[in-house]
Amino acid sequence: MTSATLHGYLEQSARRSPGTCAAVEASSGRQITYGEIDRLSSRVGDHLRRIGVRPADRVGICLPKSIASLAVLFGILKVGAAYVPVDSLAPPARNAFIFNDCGVRAIFVEASRAENLRYELARLAAEPRLLPLDWSDASSPLATYLARVEPEGGLTVEDESARPGPDSLAYVLYTSGSTGQPKGVMLTHRNGSSYVDWCSEILAPDESDRFSSHAPFHFDLSILDIFVPLKHGATVFLIGEELGKNPTRMASVIAERRLTIWYSTPSVLTLLVEHGSLDARDDHALRFILFAGEVFPVKHLRRLKAVVPRARYLNLYGPTETNVCTYYEIPQTIAEDRSAPFPIGRACSHVKARVIDANGRDVPRGQEGQLAISGAPVMLGYWNMPERTSAAFHVNSSGRWYRTGDVVIEDGDGVYTFRGRRDRMVKRRGYRIELGEIETALYRHPAISEVAAIARSEEAGVSIKVFYASRDGHALSLIDLKRFCAHNLPAYMAPDWFSHQQLLPKTSTDKIDYQHLMRME
């Protein structure tokens, strides 16, 4: 069933199955039914109206992932505002920048972090209202807060004329910007619901499904995690920060909770298969394993498929600005000699895709170009950045096309293969080098578990440094690494330096943190 708004999915499921379990905190086991979370989120919306939040306002979320933060998110949507989530563990100065940049009216914040956030906001002369939830009340911090602040006399009356529509702003997700400051991606209810409805078409979920929610709410993978299960009356298992980095406990949750649909980055799946003892269990109920956000090294994907063979595997591709826009189903058997990553696949049914050159002209099939996307899930633009928004789009008689910045090749069957990022391509000795190709080659080394390549421009030219982690935690010999590169890479692509790490640094969205590596170098 399609809804005009994202919170409409929750409301419809609550009317249909009020007693069904909607969400479970995987760590604590606390759970809430559809009827309960619908009422709790309505109380949040009522409180927001009472303190002056109006449709089209923005409200911040700086909370750990939980039933409380899920109810807050829906309460914000119900009042017609847009939610602006941040990583609650990120530096307060960064979060204050985001909230100030987006002009939030109020912020739900964990009480223990409120003072530091208030201090950083004051430095920016920003004064949004802070709504602190006391996480020491582990049973129900949100209900406790609402009981304390709600006046006697019942609820305020909702203005039906102010209810949000499909083109109302629903959420703003901040991503890293090339200027060093994060930029806000504006997405509407129509953008999100278009994607949710496509997921419904592909996954065909029902009330019996049990979804993982591994991605934090400030990461775009969370849109599937939150809204798809709640549209269909399924149950979502909220995996918080601590559990999300413990592969053994995650593997136990997958098996014991009988999860049927898992979605995360390849890094997390690699962690599960390498260190989670997934292979010790054969009782998985998983019917879909979805991954996105980065390239999945084939050797790790092959091992995962051997451990969980009955699930269907989908590679989902799409920047935050477009939601998922292409997908590829991994074949049942992966050839033993395959080392190249799988394609990002065909355009989803709710988008159009093109491969264009720098001037916006179509590139012939079989030639490299930049992937451009048009359709219902594509963002409104960047918050308060009209010039950046304009530069991100190519507009012609066929529509408004978002330039993804990703270089691809389209084959004769309409399947796209990712070749790299425009911003990760360098030239050395006259050759164009995609750093991801170096990483792909080194992933073939049987002793290497993680690898990341960076480039530096120096007086003598471009130098390439590789950071890697090994399976046994020990550094490999430089002679072995150079010999391996000589057999797997052309000479002009050979790295200049190697640096062994116990683990490569990750961002809060579980991708390799290249900016941190640049600072380390």
Domain range summary for the chain, segments of one domain joined by +: 6-244, 351-420, 429-520
CB 251 within 8 A of CB 257: no
Q: What is the pLDDT of residue 465?
A: 95
Q: What is the pLDDT of residues 106-134, one digit of tens each?
A: 999 999 999 999 999 999 999 999 999 99
Q: What is the pLDDT of residue 1?
A: 55
Residue 361 has pLDDT above 70, yes or no: yes
Mean pLDDT of 411-429: 83
Q: What is the pLDDT of residue 281?
A: 64
Q: What is the pLDDT of residue 453?
A: 94
Please tell me the CATH code under which domain 6-244 is placed. 3.40.50.12780
Q: What is the pLDDT of residue 431?
A: 66
CB 394 within 8 A of CB 372: yes
Residue 3 has pLDDT above 90, yes or no: no
Alpha-carbon distance of 443 to 276, in angstroms, equals 20
Q: What is the pLDDT of residue 6?
A: 97
Mean pLDDT of the chain: 91
Question: 24: which 2 tokens?
Answer: 């479970």
For β-strands 261-264 and 235-238, DSSP reports them as unpaired
Q: What is the pLDDT of residue 61?
A: 98
| Per-residue DSSP letter, 162 | G
Q: Name the pLDDT band for 432 (thresholds 50, 70, 90).
A: low
Q: Name the pLDDT band for 274 (thresholds 50, 70, 90).
A: confident
Mean pLDDT of 386-405: 94
Please tell me the CATH code under which domain 351-420 is placed. 2.30.38.10
- Mapping DSSP to helix (H, G, I), strand (E, B) and coil, where does residue 353 land? strand
Task: Output the CA torsion sign for 445, 450, 455, 456.
Answer: negative
| 122 exposure class (CB count in 10 Å sphere: 0-12, 13-18, 19+) | exposed
The gap from C-alpha 93 to its chain's centroid, in whole angstroms, comes to 22
Range in 6-20, 240-254, 328-342, 420-434 with the lowest mean pLDDT: 420-434
Mean pLDDT of 44-58: 96
Task: For the chain, give the percent of residues with pLDDT over 70.
Answer: 94
Closest CA to 377 of 316, 320, 327, 323: 323
Which residue is it, tokens 């590829």?
Answer: 328
pTM of structure: 0.86
Q: What is the DSSP string of 421-467?
A: EGGGEEEETTEEEEHHHHHHHHTTSTTEEEEEEEEEEETTEEEEEEE
Q: Choose between 461 and 10: higher pLDDT.
A: 10
- Mapping DSSP to helix (H, G, I), strand (E, B) and coil, where does residue 81 land? coil
Q: Name the pLDDT band for 157 (thresholds 50, 70, 90).
A: low
Q: How many CA atoms lie within 13 A of 389 on its CB side?
A: 14
Residue 2 has pLDDT above 70, yes or no: no
Residue 208 has pLDDT above 60, yes or no: yes
Mean pLDDT of 169-177: 89
Alpha-carbon distance of 416 to 419, in angstroms, equals 9
Question: What class does CATH assign to 429-520?
Answer: alpha beta
